[in-house]
Structure 1
Amino acid sequence: MLMARRDDSRSSNPQAGMDQTSDKMNTGVKVALDELLALSAQARGSSLAEVRRSSAARTGLHASRWRGRGVDFRESRIYQAGDDIRHMDWRVTARSGRPHTKLFEEEREHGLLLMMDFNPGMRFGTRVRFKSVQAARVASLFAWMATASGDRVGAIGFGGGIHSEVKPASGRRGVLQVLRALRDWDHAATSERESLASALERARRLLRPGTRLVLITDGFSADADAWPVLARCAGRHELGCILVTDALEQDPPPPGRYALIMAGEKRTLDFGNRTLRSTWSRPFETVHETARREFIRLGARVVELTTDDDVRRAIVPFTERALGPRDSSA
């Protein structure tokens, strides 16, 4: 669906603004690189929540959620075939009469992988900007914060004919690569659709131990096949989700006839019709609630972001504490 307009002689045609080539006319419709660069100022003094800081720079800045062979002792467990005999816990073995091996907490450099949804539904908005533009803005803010903490940052684009990726890299160079990709992907997006499950298969190749995965979407690309894949990711990575919505998806517009473009076809909807008004928001609510519920079930932090929200304020739950099973509205 593209932006709706009131079908009367007083309203202007938003589509005309999309046809303009100047940056001024495209404000809110196309991703602008200068706007993404400017968001670095809002990232100053903030960082994404982490499990624990470490002074051992040689082994990375963050404590891994994994249990393996690393720096800090974690626990002892029953010896399993293939365990290194050099890490046998002889005291526990002697006390229990059963062979035990020591486990350690590995420390790894964190990374951030942003999954960006460019499916056609993201190219829509009635307040300030398109959902796709707001998604790019929040992604850039995440990238600046991750880079400021010394983390690697990368991105993968899906939907809209985008099948590209930026491998995680550290420093200013890493974040600039992501920002340029966000701009280029947004400008090149088509009406082609791709499911989240399909995109996740590509994303898994970029995920390394210690990498956070944050999905930025409106939820409509999330198919049933995606949840088992995400469940496997949740066992090894921190997950987060930004659900981008528009005011029109939450409430119908004022009564009147509106011209829309849906699936490439022009249609007119009469929002003076009581039945349409009473059922309009239901499909959007179902999609958003399903995505929200499933991500929370997987232990992910979920934040809902409207197209006119202050992105810095909206992502506070990602900076206050580590990602957890409670959602930001709790």
Structure 2
Amino acid sequence: MSLALPTRPDGDGRVRVSLAELLALRGRIARVRPPRQDSRAAPAGPQASRLYGRGMDYAESRVYQPGDDVRRLDWRLTARSGELHTKLFQEEREGRLLILLDTNASMRFGTRARFKSVQAARAAALAGWYAARAGERVGALAFGASRHLLRPRGGVHGATALCGALAHWDAAVGGEEESLSDALARAGRLLHGASRVLLVSDGVSCDASARARLRDVMPRASLAVLVVADALELAPPPPGRYPLEHAGQRREVDLHGARRRAEFQQALGAGPARLSGLAQALGLRWREIDTSADPTDPVVQLLGAR
């Protein structure tokens, strides 16, 4: 898929995604050392194997054993030690990361620093830069208001294309809502060859059928979940009157009583709580961040875990 970068002015990084910021996030990942991960026979295995063969990456040398390929002799070590040594090479299998990005209307909300949609794009971009540095191809599927596919690409070009797609998708307005189960069903046919899947969502789209759909993904790819939430969705607000604006209409909510604040938080935070609880119940790797947090560490923890 060829993707032109958005022609619209760059976003402010608060209510609209800033393409410049997404591209600059490469610098944060440059300071993170991607782990070497072991592959398994299952399709969910990441890219590197401990099997020694005719791969391109040198692993180590050991004393020659009968049956070793004489073309793999380590002549330098043999000359130094006086004993025949054979070079061993680590076979590499290219991994693929598929990012499932929630673009439903609920993501365009935020009371601290930025909208959830902007924070989700930042996390997705970091995941793309991390995957590129780890030698993986990265692709993305937007679900919700924007329903687009970025086919997997490798290296810097793949991560750059992802950043452009994220800014492009964020610029779209309108669009129908899409449940998480429908998005996972749509993504099912794209999982062939994907070694890892990262779901980035606020959980509002998490419906009753999502559990079964997530179970379908689990045997096919290593699945991780990043829950993006606003501060008001994670904890009751301090007492006070809060102005809220929706669809051009502005009103104030009186939240002086403790019970009312707790009920407000539970209602507002039902989505993130539902997705976090489901991920935990299924034994998935998951993290939760608010809109003011730095998503670098949570993304690295999710993608760096074996």
Is TM > 0.5 for Structure 1 vs Structure 2?
Answer: yes
In structure 1, the residue corresponding to 2:42 is in which secondary structure? strand
- 1:33 maps to 19
- 1:44 maps to 30
Q: Does 1:109 align with 2:94?
A: yes
Question: Is the 1:50–1:321 Cα contact (8 Å) retained in structure 2?
Answer: no
Structure 2 residue corresponding to 1:295, chosen from 279, 301, 305: 279
Q: Does 1:158 align with 2:143?
A: yes
Shift of 1:293: 2.7
- 1:145 maps to 130
Question: Is the 2:224–2:286 Cα contact (8 Å) retained in structure 1?
Answer: yes
**Letter of the aligned partner of 2:27 in structure 1?**
A
- 2:253 maps to 269
**Letter of the aligned partner of 2:296 in structure 1?**
R
Question: Is the 2:236–2:261 Cα contact (8 Å) retained in structure 1?
Answer: yes
Rounded Cα–Cα distance in structure 2 between residues aligned with 1:285 and 1:118: 17
Rounded Cα–Cα distance in structure 2 between residues aligned with 1:132 and 1:48: 26
- 1:199 maps to 183
Structure 2: runs of 5 or more not aligned: 1-7, 52-90
Shift of 1:190: 2.2
Shift of 1:23: 5.3
Question: Is the 1:47–1:146 Cα contact (8 Å) retained in structure 2?
Answer: no
Rounded Cα–Cα distance in structure 1 between residues aligned with 2:194 and 2:50: 15
After TM superposition, the score normalised by the length of structure 1 is: 0.70
Shift of 1:268: 3.1
Structure 1: runs of 5 or more not aligned: 1-20, 53-61, 73-105, 323-330
Q: Does 1:228 align with 2:212?
A: yes
Rounded Cα–Cα distance in structure 2 between residues aligned with 1:221 and 1:48: 32
Structure 1 residue corresponding to 2:107, chosen from 122, 125, 144: 122
**Letter of the aligned partner of 1:150 in structure 2?**
G
After TM superposition, the score normalised by the length of structure 2 is: 0.75
Rounded Cα–Cα distance in structure 1 between residues aligned with 2:111 and 2:264: 16
Q: Equivalent pairs: percent with the same residue? A: 38
Judging changes above 3 Å, is the alpha-carbon distance between structure 1 residues 49 and 222 closer, same or farther for their aligned structure 2 residues? Answer: farther
**Letter of the aligned partner of 2:122 in structure 1?**
R
**Letter of the aligned partner of 1:144 in structure 2?**
W
- 1:173 maps to 157
**Letter of the aligned partner of 2:207 in structure 1?**
D
Rounded Cα–Cα distance in structure 1 between residues aligned with 2:260 and 2:176: 28
State how 1:24-103 maps to structure 2 within 5 Å. 26-46=12-32, 51-52=37-38, 62-66=39-43
Rounded Cα–Cα distance in structure 1 between residues aligned with 2:202 and 2:142: 14
Shift of 1:313: 2.5
| 1:33-74 Cα shifts (integer Å, max 9, x gaps) | 11000000111153665641xxxxxxxxx444349xx996xx
Rounded Cα–Cα distance in structure 1 between residues aligned with 2:276 and 2:194: 24
Rounded Cα–Cα distance in structure 2 between residues aligned with 1:202 and 1:304: 25
Q: Name the Cα RMSD after superposition.
A: 2.9
In structure 2, the residue corresponding to 1:125 is in which secondary structure? coil
Question: Is the 1:153–1:175 Cα contact (8 Å) retained in structure 2?
Answer: yes
Shift of 1:186: 0.7
In structure 2, the residue corresponding to 1:65 is in which secondary structure? coil
Judging changes above 3 Å, is the alpha-carbon distance between structure 1 residues 49 and 123 closer, same or farther for their aligned structure 2 residues? Answer: farther
Structure 2 residue corresponding to 1:314, chosen from 298, 301, 304: 298
Judging changes above 3 Å, is the alpha-carbon distance between structure 1 residues 31 and 66 closer, same or farther for their aligned structure 2 residues? Answer: closer
**Letter of the aligned partner of 2:110 in structure 1?**
G
Shift of 1:256: 3.5
Shift of 1:229: 1.3
Judging changes above 3 Å, is the alpha-carbon distance between structure 1 residues 136 and 275 closer, same or farther for their aligned structure 2 residues? Answer: same
- 1:136 maps to 121
Rounded Cα–Cα distance in structure 2 between residues aligned with 1:276 and 1:35: 38
Judging changes above 3 Å, is the alpha-carbon distance between structure 1 residues 63 and 278 closer, same or farther for their aligned structure 2 residues? Answer: closer
Rounded Cα–Cα distance in structure 1 between residues aligned with 2:50 and 2:113: 49
Rounded Cα–Cα distance in structure 1 between residues aligned with 2:219 and 2:247: 37
| 1:218-242 Cα shifts (integer Å, max 9, x gaps) | 1111111121111011011100010
More moved, 259-268 vs 225-234: 259-268
Judging changes above 3 Å, is the alpha-carbon distance between structure 1 residues 107 and 171 closer, same or farther for their aligned structure 2 residues? Answer: closer
